[in-house]
């Protein structure tokens, strides 16, 4: 290798190094600009900063961790959200204290969501404690429920099923011509969160499937019934236990006449996950239910039925 070649290589290395240095500096400056914007009162600037920083990884986690001590709950919340998006499970310790001791319920809620997003199984005990705390705000407990589901923490199944059973009492019969008084239901969103969480956990758990079936049948809140139907669909997907699958599908079929179109849509979508059934009677009921749903007055029920047709085995036709 002659001296000219060596000189050329050195020049290329120096140029590439300079380009890398400039690019790193520009990236660092941009990150700092977004970090500054997090403290802004400009909603658009904050949203843009969150989007830009959301894939920044550990560097962003380290940079925003100081925001957890801010007196401004909005800054604490934004810091928690970014740690959830950028952090690894080992970063959970940064926000576990926030979950249990922050004075703002929305910050605690965001901490619960973040721990689930990070896959922080180490936080399962804290999340379960929040779930079981009757004095905690419903929005925080609901977020904890969903995160326990995302973490697939089976230890949460007993408290989640217990929450599903906390339905308000049914109102007394109303004389003809009179209007029923609205039911005071303070835990509907918590029950919906519990049902959603069990969508990750119910497969293989007969008691959880039974409680979801009861929630679909009896709960007065349509969002809870809708979440229960969706969860039953996840519970039957690739489930090798024929008895569990049969119980889940029977619960779904029994509520095909639900008065809410959104609930019927969720039921039909769940039935579309049934796959091949060995039980002839159950298979026949399923096929008749999907065929009837194709004529439902609700547009999205019909759409769900059309989609179910594509995922289920071909329907048997009578001779």
pLDDT at 279: 85
**pLDDT higher than 60, residue 13:** no
Average pLDDT for the chain: 85
- Whether the predicted pLDDT of 257 surpasses 80: yes
Contact 249, 274 (CB under 8 A): yes
For residue range 57-83, list pLDDT tens digits in order: 778 888 888 889 999 999 899 889 989
pLDDT band at residue 25 using 50, 70 and 90 as cut-offs: very low
Report pLDDT digits (tens) over 135-148. Answer: 999 999 999 999 99
Report the topology of domain 203-319.
1.25.10
From-to residues of CATH 1.25.10.10 in the chain: 30-151, 203-319
How large is the average pLDDT for residues 47-53? 70
- The topology (CATH level 3) of 30-151 is 1.25.10
| Mean pLDDT computed over 253-279 | 94
State how far the Cα of 245 lies from the Cα of 277, in Å rounded to an integer.
9
* 10 or 256: which leads in pLDDT: 256
258 and 226 Cβ atoms separated by less than 8 Å: no
The pLDDT score that the predictor gives to residue 208 is: 95
Give the pLDDT confidence score for residue 24 in this predicted structure. 36
- Determine the pLDDT at residue 5: 59
Q: Are 267 and 229 in contact (CB under 8 A)?
A: yes
Considering only the C-alpha atoms of the chain, give the largest distance between any 2 of them, rounded to a whole number of Å: 104
Q: Which pLDDT band holds residue 28 (cuts at 50, 70, 90)?
A: very low
pLDDT (average), residues 310-315: 88
265, 229 Cβ separation under 8 angstroms: no
DSSP for residue 173: P
152-189, pLDDT tens digit by residue? Answer: 999 999 999 999 999 987 666 767 777 766 777 889 99
The distance from CA 208 to its chain's CA centroid, rounded to whole angstroms, is: 18
Assigned token pair, 196: 């959603």
């Amino acid at each position: 290798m002659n001296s000219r070649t060596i000189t050329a290589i050195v020049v290329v290395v120096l140029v590439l190094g300079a380009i890398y240095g400039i690019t790193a500096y520009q990236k660092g400056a941009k990150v700092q600009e977004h970090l500054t914007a997090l403290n802004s009162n400009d909603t658009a600037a904050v949203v843009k900063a969150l989007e830009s920083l959301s894939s920044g990884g550990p560097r962003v986690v380290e940079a925003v961790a100081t925001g957890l001590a801010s007196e401004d709950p909005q800054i604490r919340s934004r810091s928690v959200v970014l740690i959830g998006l950028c952090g690894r499970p080992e970063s959970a310790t940064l926000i576990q204290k926030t979950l249990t001791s922050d004075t703002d319920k929305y910050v605690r809620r965001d901490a619960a969501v973040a721990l689930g997003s990070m896959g922080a199984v180490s936080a399962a005990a804290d999340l379960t404690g929040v779930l079981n705390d009757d004095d905690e705000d419903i929005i925080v407990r609901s977020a904890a429920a969903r995160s326990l589901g995302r973490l697939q923490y089976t230890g949460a199944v007993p408290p989640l099923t217990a929450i599903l059973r906390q339905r308000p009492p049914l109102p007394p019969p109303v004389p003809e011509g009179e209007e029923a008084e609205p039911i005071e239901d303070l835990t509907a969103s918590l029950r919906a969160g519990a049902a959603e969480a069990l969508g990750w956990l119910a497969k293989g758990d007969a008691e959880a499937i039974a409680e979801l079936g009861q929630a679909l049948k009896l709960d007065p809140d349509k969002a809870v019934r809708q979440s229960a139907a969706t969860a039953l669909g996840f519970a039957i997907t690739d489930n090798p236990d024929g008895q569990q699958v049969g119980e889940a599908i029977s619960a779904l079929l029994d509520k095909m006449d639900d008065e809410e179109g959104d609930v019927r849509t969720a039921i039909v979508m769940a039935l579309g996950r049934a796959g091949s059934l060995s039980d002839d009677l159950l298979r026949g009921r399923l096929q008749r239910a999907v065929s009837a749903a194709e004529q439902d007055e609700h547009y999205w029920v019909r759409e769900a039925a059309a989609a179910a047709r594509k995922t289920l085995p071909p329907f048997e036709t009578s001779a």
